[in-house]
A and B are shown apart, each in its own frame.
Chain A
Amino acid sequence: MRSSLCALWLLLLPLLVVAQQRVLPLDQLRSGLHFAGSDVRALQADEFGNPGQLALQRGEQRWSEAVGPAGKSCFQCHGGVAQSMRGVAARYPAVDARSGRLLNLEDRIAQCRQVHQQGPALVLESEDLLALSLYVTRASAGLPLRVEVSGPASAHLLEGERLFMQRRGQLNLACTHCHDQNQGRRFYTDALSQGQPNAYPLYRLEWQKLGSLERRLRGCLVGVRAELPDWGALEMRQLALYLGWRGAGLPVEAPAVRK
């Protein structure tokens, strides 16, 4: 009995260590906006000119639009986002109780479309899905990130941490080398950010459109010349969960703009 308790404790110990210690102290957390140039910051702050506003408009239309054989819209079940979706985006990625899978907000919306509305599938990175995701995220603007890392999510968090620390690609770099050890220093013309996930989905001037955190992470993987996982791969969700935990407390930004 005692040895089994002991074994259980040993099993849980690394989980507790991860869940208790912050990588970055709360007062040292910096959104990517902090590292952006003044023109990008001005564009994000411009309530009219921020190109994310167009996506928000689109998301609002999609939210109230009836789809599928039942003719149900998001609005019919959830009502307005301001109340029903307040704080939701700050909790993703999260383990879905129904399927047991680790889902990000886009996955969750696509699943709702499939299961409840039975409408045409929302493909990852499609404009409609990103617009809906931004519209839902907007309802959490200013609220602190707080992903759930206990219970079924704890194993995913550990895996996400391992992925963050793992060297990869021809340049043989891990996320931690740039975003923990060299944050704030120059990488060519850019400042290396902390790699915070608090503003996604966001409008990147490089993309000329809205994109997800997953797309941004893929950009980094291309940068270190690593193999790309499939879209929607579990490892990307686990990495996003780790980032969410690492940035816990940062306020959600929506609609955000980056270079």
Chain B
Amino acid sequence: MTQARLLLPQRVAPGEVVKARLLVAHPMETGYLQDLAGKTIPRNIIRELSCEYGGRQVFRVEPSSGIAGNPLFEFCFRAQFSGELLVRWVDDEGRVGQLRQSLRVQPAA
């Protein structure tokens, strides 16, 4: 089960620079820690996470094991049109997660 939350502004004017906030549920196991029973937990971090807006990549990150669990990302992009944001990530276990959310751009009245 993959979970993520993406926060976009409600009202966006064309050409406006939009700040997106993205919270991804992921343990980001460094490989150095042990579970409550004392067994080493294998490394499992997000290898790559990217966000496409209307088919064009607007954000891409390759987190390292220094990034905390359940990472929070913030990035900005210029909103020209109403469209879908597609966030995708893959971790060391090969598990793929994705989240789709649409952005509505309205001309200022």
Contact = CB atoms under 8 A, between A and B. Distances in A.
Given A48-B21, A49-B23, A54-B70, A208 B28 contact: yes
Contacts of A51: 23, 69-70, 72
A57 B5 CA distance: 10
Interface in B27-74: 27-28, 36, 68-70, 72
Given A48-B23, A49-B23, A205 B7 contact: no
A126 to B, nearest CB: 11
A209 interface: yes
A209 B69 contact: yes
B102 interface: no
Contacts of A235: none
Contacts of B3: 54, 57-58
B25 interface: yes
Interface string A46-69: 001101011001100000000000
Nearest to B70: A51
Contacts of B36: 125, 215
Interface residues of A, number: 12
Interface string B1-37: 1010101000000000000010101011000000010
Interface string A215-259: 100000000000000000000000000000000000000000000
B5 A48 contact: yes
Given A48-B5, A48-B7, A49-B72, A208 B27 contact: yes
Contacts of B69: 51, 208-209
A53 B7 CA distance: 13
A51 B27 CA distance: 11
29 contacts: A48-B5, A48-B21, A48-B23, A49-B21, A49-B23, A51-B23, A51-B70, A53-B5, A53-B23, A54-B3, A54-B5, A54-B23, A54-B25, A54-B70, A57-B3, A57-B5, A58-B1, A58-B3, A58-B25, A125-B36, A205-B68, A208-B27, A208-B28, A208-B69, A208-B70, A209-B27, A209-B69, A209-B70, A215-B36
